[in-house]
Structure 1
Amino acid sequence: MTQIDRRAFIAAAGAAAAVPLAGRAQALTTGWAPKAPLPWAVQEIYCAVSGGRIVVAGGLRRPARVTEIEDRIAIYDPTTDVWTQGPRLPSPRHHPMVVTCGGALMIVGGYGRSDAGDWTAMTDVWMADGEGLSAVARLPTPLSESVGVDLAGRAHLVTGRRPLGAANGQWNDQSDVADHWAYDRGADRWEALRPAPMARNSAAGAVLDGVLWVAGGRTVTGGGTGRLDRYDSVGDRWDTLAPIPASPATGQQVGGGLAMAAAGGRLIALGGEWFAAGGGGVFAETWIYDPTADRWAAGPPMRTPRHGLAAAAIDQTIYAIAGGEVVSGGRAGGVVEAFELDPFY
C-alpha cells in the first residue's frame, strides 16, 4: 500500500459519483473471487464509489475493545486491484456513513469517542475538497448506522440509530429511528423528508431506476428483518415490496449488518449476522432482487461470511469489502471478494 497524494484523492472524490451500469438484463452469476485485501482489518464500515474508485472510511478494528476506532480512509482502484490510503479523518469514527452528493464525497455522522463513552453519536459532516476534508453543515441530529445514498444529486440518510434522551455515549443510549434526511450541497443544509416506514438500524441501501431502496436491517428488540422499502423522491412516497428471504442454510432471517449494491438492473444484498441463545452466526448468502418481478433469488454465497461489511458495484462487478467474520464482532477482517453479473438478453 502506498500513501495516496491528496490531489489524487480529491480528483477521485470530485469525479462523477455515478459509475455507469450496463443496461437492464437478466442476470446469471459467476462465483466470488478474491481481490487484494484491504490493508488493515476493519468492520462496521460503509463505502461509496467516486471517480470509478471505492472509498471506505473509519470503522472498528476490534469491537470487543471499542477504543480501537479507525480514522483511516482506504481507496480501491478496481483497474489495478490496488488499495491506497487517503487523508485521515479529523477524528476516529465507527459506523460513519460514506456517500457522494452531486459528485462530492462525504463522510457523515457515526460514533466517536467522548467523555461519555465510545458510542457517542456524532453530527459531524466532512466533505472532500482541495485540502483533503473540510466540515460542512452538521446533521440536525446525531445519527449512526444509517443508509446513505446519492439520489438525484442529494445525499440521503435513512433509518439508523440516535439518542432519544439526554445520554449519548454508550451503546444503550442509542435508539432505532426511521429518520430521513437529505443534504442540498448548493444550500449547505439538511432537509427532513418523509420517514421510512419502519425504524431500524444496520440496514443497507442503493439507488436503482432513479429511486432509493432500503433493505434488511434490525431493531434492538426485534432482531433482523428482511423488509424491502422503496422511496420515490418525485412523489415523496414509500412502498414496501418483497422481503429478503430467510437463509435456507440456517433458517435465520437475513437482516442486520448486511450490505447492498445495484448493478445490471438488480439489487444485490449480501452478508449480515443473526443472534440467538448461545451465540448466533454470520451469513455468507448473496440475494439478487429483480424489481420487474418483485422477487429475490439466491446468488453465489461469499467465500467468507461477514457482517458490518461494505459493498459497491462498478459496471457489472460487485465488491464485498472487509467486515466482521464472527457474530457480534469478535474478529474483524480485511477480505475483499468480487463477482460479476453475467448478462444475457
Structure 2
Amino acid sequence: YRTLVPLPSPLQEHTVVALPPSIYLLGGIDGPSIKSAVHRYSTPTNTWSLAPPLPIPLHHPNAIVTNSSIYLFGGILDLFRWAASASSWKYTPSDPSPSWQKLADFPNPRGSCVVGVHNGKIWAVGGLGPAQLGGGRAASTMVSSYDIAEDTWTTHAELALPEGRDHAGGGVVGDTLYVVGGRVGTIASVRDTVYALDLGGLPGARWVEKRKMGVARGGIAAAVVEGKIFAFGGEGNVESEKGVFGEVEVYDTVGDTWVEGEAMRVPRHGFGAAVIGESVYLPGGGGTENG
C-alpha cells in the first residue's frame, strides 16, 4: 500500500470510477451534507481538481465507465426517507466543453447497486430503495439493463436476485456478472454470498451461488483485476468497536476460490475502488459504521 495525497475534504458513500489517467469521485456525504461535487484525481501528478459537478446532489450513486464516458444513474437524494433519483446522465471528459448530458430515466430508482457493462449494455443489480413504512430500508432484488446505443432501460423481472442486496461489490468478468457480499437493508444483515449470472447465456441463464467470502460484510469496495475480484473493507464487524473491517479477500473466478489478501492500513466502509494499470486506488470512506 502507498499513501497518496488526501482528498480535499472527507467523503463517504460516494462512487469511484476510473477513466485513465484520472479517477473520479462522484457525489457522497460529508457529515450532514450531500454532495454534487465531482473530485478528479490525476494519477501522474498525484493531485486533486474539480470536474463539472453532478446535476443534483447524490449519495450512493451508481456509475460506470465505458466508451470513454462516465454513465451515472440513480442514487439517493436525502438522508431521511432515502428517496432515490430516477435520473440518468452521461459525462465525456474529452468533449470540447464537457458537461452532464441527460439520458433516459432509470426505472425502479435506487442507489448502491452493483454495476457492470457487457456487450453494449450497462447492468444494475440490487440496490437500496426508499425507507419502508414502519422503518427500515428496502434491499432490492431488481435487475435492470441500459442499452447504450438505444438509450433505453429494460427491467428483467425473470433475473431477480435470490435475495435483496445493497452495499454489495461485484462487476463483470468475461461474460459473467458477479454480486459479492452486501447486506439486506441493515448493517445487522450483512452477507458473505457470491451470486453469478452468465450474461452470455441469456435469456435462459439464472443466478448461481458460488463459494462464499470468508467474512460477511457490506459497504465493501470491489475491484476486478485480471479475472479476480478484490473485496476491500466494509462494515458489520461485531468484533470491532467501530464496526468496520480492514480485511481484503480475493476471489478467483476461474477456480471459484477465495484467498486472504494484505489487510488495509485503515479499516473503512462506504468507499470505492478504481483500477488503473496494475494499481487499485481506494479513496475516502467512513471509519465507523453508520458514520
The alignment's TM-score, normalised by the length of structure 2, stands at 0.89
Aligned to 2:65: 100
Q: Distance in 2 between matches of 1:79 and 1:87?
A: 21
2:274 paired with 1:274: no
Aligned to 2:42: 77
Q: Helix, strand or coil: the match of 2:52?
A: coil
Aligned to 1:187: 150
Q: 1:235 aligns with which of 201, 207, 213?
A: 201
Letter in 1 for 2:116: V
Q: Distance in 2 between matches of 1:259 and 1:277?
A: 20
C-alpha displacement of 1:81? 2.0
**More relative contact order, 1 or 2 (CA 8 Å, 6+ apart):** 1
C-alpha displacement of 1:151? 2.2
Query: Structure 2 regions of 5+ residues with no counterpart?
Result: none
2:112 paired with 1:150: no
Provide the aligned C-alpha RMSD in A.
2.3
Alpha carbons of structure 1 residues 173 and 186: separation in structure 2 relative to 1, 3 Å: farther
After superposition, residues 158-197 of structure 1 pair within 5 angstroms as 158-163=125-130, 172=135, 174-193=137-156, 194-197=159-162
Q: Distance in 2 between matches of 1:326 and 1:163?
A: 23
Q: Distance in 2 between matches of 1:74 and 1:304?
A: 21
Aligned to 1:44: 13
C-alpha displacement of 1:256? 0.8
Contact 2:235 2:269 in 1 (8 A): yes
Aligned to 1:298: 260
After superposition, residues 204-223 of structure 1 pair within 5 angstroms as 204-220=169-185, 223=189
Aligned to 1:13: none
Contact 2:20 2:276 in 1 (8 A): no
How many residue pairs match? The answer is 281
Contact 1:93 1:110 in 2 (8 A): yes
Aligned to 2:223: 261
C-alpha displacement of 1:106? 1.4
C-alpha displacement of 1:315? 2.2
Q: 2:107 aligns with which of 140, 145, 151?
A: 140
Letter in 1 for 2:162: P
Q: Deviations over 1:196-237 (max 9, x none)?
A: 232111001222223221101001366111111112112132
Q: Helix, strand or coil: the match of 2:290?
A: helix
Alpha carbons of structure 1 residues 303 and 172: separation in structure 2 relative to 1, 3 Å: same
Q: Distance in 1 between matches of 2:2 and 2:131?
A: 43
Q: Distance in 1 between matches of 2:247 and 2:240?
A: 22
Q: 2:24 aligns with which of 47, 50, 55?
A: 55
